Amino acid sequence: TFCVEPLTYVGQDLIAADIARFKSALTGVSEQDPFLPAVAPGSVEHWLWNEHYATQEEFVYAIADVMRQEYKAIVDAGFVLQIDDPDMFDAFQIHPDFDVPTYRKFAQMRIDALNYALRDIPRERVRLHVCWGSYHGPHLYDIPLKDVIDLFLTVNASAYSIEASNPAHDHEWVEWKNVKLPDGATLIPGVVGHASDFIEHPDLVAQRLMRYADIVGKENLMAGTDCGLGTRVGDPAIAWAKFRTMAEGARIASAQLWG
């Protein structure tokens, strides 16, 4: 899609319909803190080609101003806002000419634009999800977590969801020893994945959670998925089975951690 004039937001009716549908689905649910996702400015940029704004930075900030309306609509409706930003890490693969310092500068501008879009939205009403792209492929050239983990934690959020259980990134749990979560923040590592139709054993889920609990603290931890499951794992029944095993593994870990 080509941008040839100033960007405006035209999704008011669509987000209102999503919010109404979600509220209806939550009838009778009172003990949870439900969230709705929306895409980060940098990931929206991936699908647009700028032919209007003088610079790419100006373009990204224009996207941020537009998406802010959707972010506020979600928060004003009483939901937690989940920012989905796969391109924060994934874009490294589509810029093969970038070295790590160049990519960090590229990512930092887009993170700054995201924080600009989140201005005045309470941090505790925001969670962030990143990954290295949910496509099936080798992922041989993913940027290492150690090169971007500090940037990830500069987003103004209270929970950080990250791909963590597939063969390319399972080993990177050790990187959390080298950083500190923002005060009061929650880490949501992926403990079941979208990379295959294997259903993780609950004990494996528990083991993954236990090793993170030893680093970030049991009170700062929540089980999550690497990315969206759905048809990526072959069949809805497999996706639901992964959610069940994730919950069971979390219960096992909780029993060990909390007694």
Q: Which regions of the chain are under pLDDT 70?
A: none
Token pair of 85 as six digits: 């930003």
Predicted local distance difference test score (pLDDT) of residue 230: 80
DSSP assignment letter at 170: G
Predicted local distance difference test score (pLDDT) of residue 259: 86
What Cα–Cα distance (Å) separates residue 44 from each residue in 21, 111, 131, 149? 24, 13, 15, 21
Predicted local distance difference test score (pLDDT) of residue 231: 80
Predicted local distance difference test score (pLDDT) of residue 72: 98
Which strand (E) or helix (H) includes residue 206? helix 202-216
Predicted local distance difference test score (pLDDT) of residue 21: 97
Token pair of 58 as six digits: 């100006």
Predicted local distance difference test score (pLDDT) of residue 162: 98
Query: If we measure between CA atoms, which residue out of 10, 105, 100 comes closest to residue 57?
Result: 105
Using CA atoms, how far apart are residues 32 and 13, in angstroms rounded to an integer? Answer: 26
Q: Are 195 and 136 in contact (CB under 8 A)?
A: yes
Predicted local distance difference test score (pLDDT) of residue 195: 87
Which strand (E) or helix (H) includes residue 24? helix 12-25
Which residue's entry shows tokens 């048809």?
Answer: 231
Q: What is the pLDDT of residues 135-192, one digit of tens each?
A: 888 999 999 999 999 999 999 999 999 999 999 999 999 999 999 999 999 999 999 9
**Residue positions counted in the chain:** 259
Q: Are 238 and 197 in contact (CB under 8 A)?
A: yes
Bridge partners, residue 35, by sequence = 80
What secondary structure does DSSP assign to 95-156, as a single string?
-TT--HHHHHHHHHHHHHHHHHHTTTS-GGGEEEEE-S-SS-S--TTPPPGGGTHHHHTTSS
Using CA atoms, how far apart are residues 128 and 152, in angstroms rounded to an integer? Answer: 9
Angle at 180 between CA 175 and CA 186, to 5 degrees: 95
Predicted local distance difference test score (pLDDT) of residue 105: 98
Bridge partners, residue 83, by sequence = 38, 128
Collapsed DSSP state (helix, strand, coil) of residue 32: coil
Using CA atoms, how far apart are residues 34 and 224, in angstroms rounded to an integer? Answer: 14
Predicted local distance difference test score (pLDDT) of residue 183: 95
